Amino acid sequence: MPVEEVTGDLLSSEEQYIVQQSNCVSDYAAGLAAAIAEKFPHADVYKSSARRARGTDKTGDIPGTIAVLGGVCAEMDKEQPGVINLFGQWAPGKPRSGAASAEYKGLLGAVSLRTYPLRSGTP
C-alpha cells in the first residue's frame, strides 16, 4: 500500500499517526521535535523515561529503527495520536542526502507495510 502524503498543519492533523525523522543521540527535543513533544507530551522520544523504556538511555538509538509512541499502541482508555519516530540519522542537524535520505525513505516504506491503514503527515 503506498504512503499518502497529506499537506497542512502537522500539529493540527487528525491522522492516526504523525511520522518524523529523529536522531539517535539527542537527550532533548529541538525544532519540529520540540513542537511535536509540546503538543503530544506522551510522544517525546527524547525524554529520559522514554529512552529508559526502550533501553537506549546509555547507548542511543540505532539508525534504521523506529519508536512508536501513542496511537493504537496506547492505553485503550486514552485517545492519543501516535508519533512514529524514524531514527534515520545518528546525530542532530539537517538531514543528509544520499544514503541517509534513502534509509529514511526505506523506513517510511517499512512503516506503511506494517501499519494498515496508514496515512501520515510528514514535515
Q: For the chain, what is the domain count? A: 1
**Residue 60 burial class via C-beta count within 10 angstroms: exposed 0-12, middle 13-18, buried 19 and up:** middle
117 in any annotated domain:
yes
pTM of the model: 0.70
115 in any annotated domain:
yes
4 in any annotated domain:
no
Q: For position 107, what pLDDT does the model report? A: 61
Cα distances from 10 to residues 7, 14, 77, in angstroms, run 8, 9, 24
47 in any annotated domain:
yes
86 in any annotated domain:
yes
Q: Is 113 left (phi over 0), alpha (psi -120 to 50) or beta?
A: alpha
Q: For position 96, what pLDDT does the model report? A: 59
Domain range for residue 100? Answer: 13-121
Instruction: Provide long-range contacts, Cβ within 8 A and 24+ apart, for 76-81.
Output: 80/40, 80/42, 80/43, 81/13, 81/15, 81/16, 81/17, 81/18, 81/40, 81/43
pLDDT tens track of the chain, all 123 residues? Answer: 677 777 888 888 888 888 888 999 898 999 999 999 999 888 899 999 888 888 888 888 988 888 988 877 555 556 678 899 998 888 887 765 555 555 556 666 655 544 444 444 444
3 in any annotated domain:
no
Q: For position 63, what pLDDT does the model report? A: 85
1 in any annotated domain:
no
Q: For position 115, what pLDDT does the model report? A: 42
6 in any annotated domain:
no
